[in-house]
Chain A
Amino acid sequence: MNKLSWFNVTSLTFGFAFLYMPMVILIIYSFNASKLVTVWAGFSTKWYGSLFENEAFLDAAWVTIKVAVMSSSLATILGTMAAYVLVRGGRFMGRTLFSGMIYAPLVMPEVITGLSLLLLFIGIGLDRGVLTIVLAHTTFAMCYVSVVVSSRLVSFDRSLEEAALDLGCSNFEAFRLVTLPIIAPAVISGWLLAFTLSLDDLVIASFTAGPSATTLPIKIFSAVRLGVSPEINALSTIMIAIVTVGVISASLVSKRNSLRQQKDEQAAARAT
């Protein structure tokens, strides 16, 4: 192991303190016995208990998960289709315009996306609720999916699809049996990206949510405006834990895969 210089140690400390100090404080205070957020009064897990009895939070959490699953699935289907057409469709009229337009929502301020969706829903007389949030989230998550999937499609060997056609597949069969299994990792990471985006979106959701359905970020935000309660600290700690577990397991899986790949290649080299 290399010994780090004092300069490196300092920059590392400051950098990580900057990143993680707020979260560490939040986690510590979630175990605070006092009702006052800023005063430490001993260790307790009672806020976790009361959190699970708080119907409003549980409802909001349930709505959030429902919305995230539905919108990310819808966004994945639409985004993959869009990516496929733009990468594989050859040169059709307006292709450049379309591929530019599919990325535009990425840079569009969320407030504008939210407002325009709100106007649309009012215009067509759609009652705001779970459905409208799902539609709104699908709209903006779809372009992220399409970016992820099309970058995979660009590097995809075209002759694989030609081979499938040559061996008797129709265009759809070639997509289902060859293209889709190969781009599956990109599709899955597109889905996960859409899922996370939907989970933590506050701006667009607050434009499109109605009294009948509130998502967790909206709930937390409005609760905080009335004062930070230790329950919210507990809820946030749980969310941090979920994200941490997710990230660690994803990196473990990809590390295992790359190790296996390496072993396979060595085996192939020996098999000559």
Chain B
Amino acid sequence: MNQAVFTPWDDPSAKPLIRFKGVTKRFGEFVAIDNLTLDIYEREFFALLGPSGCGKTTMMRMLAGFETATEGSIELSGQDIGPVPPNKRAVNMMFQSYALFPHLTVYDNIAFGLRRGTMPREQIDARVSEMLKLTRLEKFARRKPHQISGGQRQRVALARSLAKAPKLLLLDEPLGALDAKLRQATQFELMDIQEKTGTTFVIVTHDQEEAMTVASRVAVMDEGRVMQVATPERIYEAPNSVYVADFIGDVNILKGTATANGTGSYAVTWDEGQRPVTAISDTVFSEGQACFLAIRPEKIAINAERPTDADNAIQGKILDIAYLGNLSTYHVALPGGQVIKAQAANTRRVSRRSFTWEDTVWISWTATAGVLLDQ
């Protein structure tokens, strides 16, 4: 593959498709979106991720035109879309409830948007057939929405919102109503369709795994603010705050104070009776500044003997083991009372494991395994 890596957000000359400029949205006293500035680029698969009530749905509804910003402006290809009503925007939305028209067939649902324009009949027919083929629904064109299954309804909703070839497609929790297995299959289908059509997708979800799987970039939101916007890898490996680290996946947080012990290297004092741990960080910390060391469980090794070459090693007692089949998560209690989660692949049969409940073990990690955070 000699295809260039798709990273328009790192290119200063790239023009964003959508620009949120200092957007604030209030519902009475309640601030749903708080002074938000954000760029989304063409052909991106952008995920808005956050707990319910964080403002992600409000952002999407502002893009669709169902809500107007209280302050600030939203631009689509350089044009302020604030005064443009929803039916005049080159933006389509796939609703969480799918919102299929129950009185129309699958075919008529997909053709609905096309018929509102001046497109001639044959072209509408061709376009609908194309959409039916893309979503593998050819057999169901004559059925009504209540005559097809949930997964098929989801695909009809997608086909309908893609039929008008919008510049931007909004997906509001598109997979929320599907069961786990179907959801996984559909995630890959969505990515496939996004790549084939080259449409910019903005997806709203509260499911972090879903966001990580499908998105080119993820915005983690909390209480109307964007906490971090980055690629899934960076969100996971280099979160910029304890909130983001904690929201995405599992994490151990050690709270302590930082003391420089080399260039970009810090000794973190986190417990009275314990030796400080060493962490490498790009962020500069002053002497004695409060800090948080975030380490993912799979980056912590667990051994019966003290490893000789580890940067950081602490002795503890196994409190609990969660057996997940391919992995096991060990809850290790330290002398100070903290519980650290460590994850290890079950490369040997469980019966041949060298430690079990109540055993004393050593947990260890390298200086670069964790991320040192100031908030």
Contacts and interface: CB of A to CB of B under 8 A. Distances in A.
B112 A167 contact: yes
B101 A168 contact: no
Contact of B101 (A160, A173, A267): A160
Contacts of A265: 146-147
B95 A163 contact: yes
Interface stretch (B40-48, B86-94, B218-226): B86-94
Contact of A167 (B65, B102, B160): B160
Given A163-B93, A182-B103, A169 B116 contact: yes
B149 A272 contact: yes
B6 interface: no
A166 B147 contact: no
A162 B86 contact: yes
How many B residues touch the partner, as a band? 20 to 34
B113 interface: yes
A269 B87 contact: no
B86 A267 contact: no
Nearest to A158: B99
Interface in A40-94: none
Nearest to B170: A166
Contacts of A167: 87, 92, 112-113, 116, 160, 164
B161 to A, nearest CB: 8
B76 interface: no
A159 B87 contact: no
B102 A182 contact: yes
* Chain A interface, DSSP helix/strand/loop, else mixed: helix
A36 B65 CA distance: 75
A168 B113 contact: yes
A245 to B, nearest CB: 28
A244 interface: no
Interface string B96-125: 110101110000000011001100000000
A72 B85 CA distance: 36
Nearest to B153: A268
A71 to B, nearest CB: 28
A271 interface: yes
A159 B101 CA distance: 10
A203 B117 CA distance: 53
A216 to B, nearest CB: 37
B152 interface: yes
Given A165-B86, A166-B87, A272 B164 contact: no
B99 A163 contact: yes
Contacts of A131: none
B92 A159 contact: no
Contacts of B161: 166
A163 to B, nearest CB: 4
A170 B87 contact: yes
Contacts of A169: 87, 116
Interface in A142-173: 157, 159-160, 162-170, 173
A166 B86 contact: yes
B146 A264 contact: yes
A269 B99 CA distance: 19
Contacts of B101: 160, 163-164, 178, 182
A43 B85 CA distance: 73
Contact of A159 (B91, B99, B140, B160): B99
Contacts of A267: 147
A268 B156 CA distance: 14
A74 B9 CA distance: 60
A157 B103 CA distance: 14
A261 interface: yes
B264 interface: no
A177 B140 CA distance: 22
B87 A168 contact: yes
A53 B103 CA distance: 48
Contacts of A182: 101-103
Contacts of B27: none
B64 interface: yes
Most buried by B among A167, A178, A269: A167
Given A264-B144, A269-B149, 18 more contacts: A157-B97, A157-B99, A160-B101, A162-B64, A162-B66, A162-B93, A163-B95, A165-B85, A166-B65, A166-B91, A167-B112, A173-B116, A265-B147, A268-B147, A268-B149, A271-B152, A272-B150, A272-B152
Interface of B: 64-66, 85-87, 91-93, 95-97, 99, 101-103, 112-113, 116-117, 140, 144, 146-152, 160-161, 164
Shortest 8 CB-CB contacts between residues of A and residues of B: A167-B113, A168-B116, A163-B99, A272-B149, A159-B99, A181-B103, A165-B86, A159-B95
25 contacts: A159-B97, A162-B64, A162-B95, A162-B99, A163-B93, A163-B95, A163-B101, A165-B65, A165-B66, A165-B86, A165-B87, A166-B65, A166-B91, A167-B92, A168-B113, A173-B116, A178-B101, A182-B102, A264-B147, A265-B147, A268-B148, A271-B140, A271-B147, A271-B148, A272-B149
